[in-house]
Amino acid sequence: MKKTKSTKNPERVKKVQSFLGSSVDDYIAARVLFLSSLPQQAAILSSTSIEKCFKAMLAFNGNESHGHLKKAHWKSVRNFDIELYDSLNQDFLELNQKVYLLRYTNDLPSGYNLVIASREYLAELDQTILSICRRFQFGERDESYRLSKLEHLVSIRDKRVYEENHVLNGEPKEQFIYRESQFVFEIRNLTSGKLFEINYRAFGKPKNQSFSRSGFTPSKDSNNSFELSFDNKEDI
């Protein structure tokens, strides 16, 4: 059995609790926004939620890394829990790193491009945050055990956490993603300086299931047409 890590350093415990508590706040807000068909805003909060989870792991080991979500953050997970690190979807983490720039679309670099499919994104976010937060416990499993903020919300079946959560509801991930249509946001900043954004509802699977898929892709046959990442869709 894998040995559980622990620390009794009060300063480290305080920092871990602070990062995890703030991460859960962002996670809940991201879930509410995804379920309200606001994927751009939801993804930004998803990025900060994951970032704070990683910083909690760094704090546990007495380390820190300033700045927004970056590879140095999630690679540090290997020093915390190699099994957890291997379970994380690297494409999804890289997408979360990119979406942070969506706060100011006028400042996006030339060639910037991504796709946010709401149910797909939400499913991976739930799996990521719950997997990380379950690695932490505060106190021994006895009468003195203190529930974390997320554990408390799960224990009272808070709707904001449970609604459409395939992990907590025991639904296979792929079944959850494609059992109904999902809201999709695609954006591309062309080298010419033109910024294109589109929102639509999609049915079924995308042409490419990678989180790093190309979106709003210029057609090879025409300079004035673009291809979206889903074939079966309806405009909004």
| Strand pairing report for 217-218 and 233-235 | unpaired
Q: Greater confidence, 147 or 86?
A: 86
For 10-104+118-178, CATH gives 1.20.120
Check residue 3 and give its pLDDT. Answer: 45
Tokens matching residue 75: 């690679």
Buried b (16+ CB within 10 A) or exposed e, 13-44: bebbbebbebbbebbbbbbbbbbeebbbbbbb
| Mean of pLDDT values over 138-160 | 80
Check residue 15 and give its pLDDT. Answer: 87
| Mean of pLDDT values over 122-132 | 96
Q: Mean pLDDT score of the chain, rounded to an integer?
A: 88
| Mean of pLDDT values over 189-203 | 89
Check residue 139 and give its pLDDT. Answer: 62
Check residue 57 and give its pLDDT. Answer: 86
Check residue 121 and give its pLDDT. Answer: 98
The boundaries of every CATH 1.20.120 domain in the chain are: 10-104+118-178
Check residue 5 and give its pLDDT. Answer: 57
The dihedral formed by the CA atoms of 101, 39, 95 and 113, expressed in degrees to the nearest 10: -60
Check residue 75 and give its pLDDT. Answer: 77
Question: Residue 183: CB partners within 8 Å, gap ≥ 6?
Answer: 37, 39, 117, 118, 199, 200, 201, 236
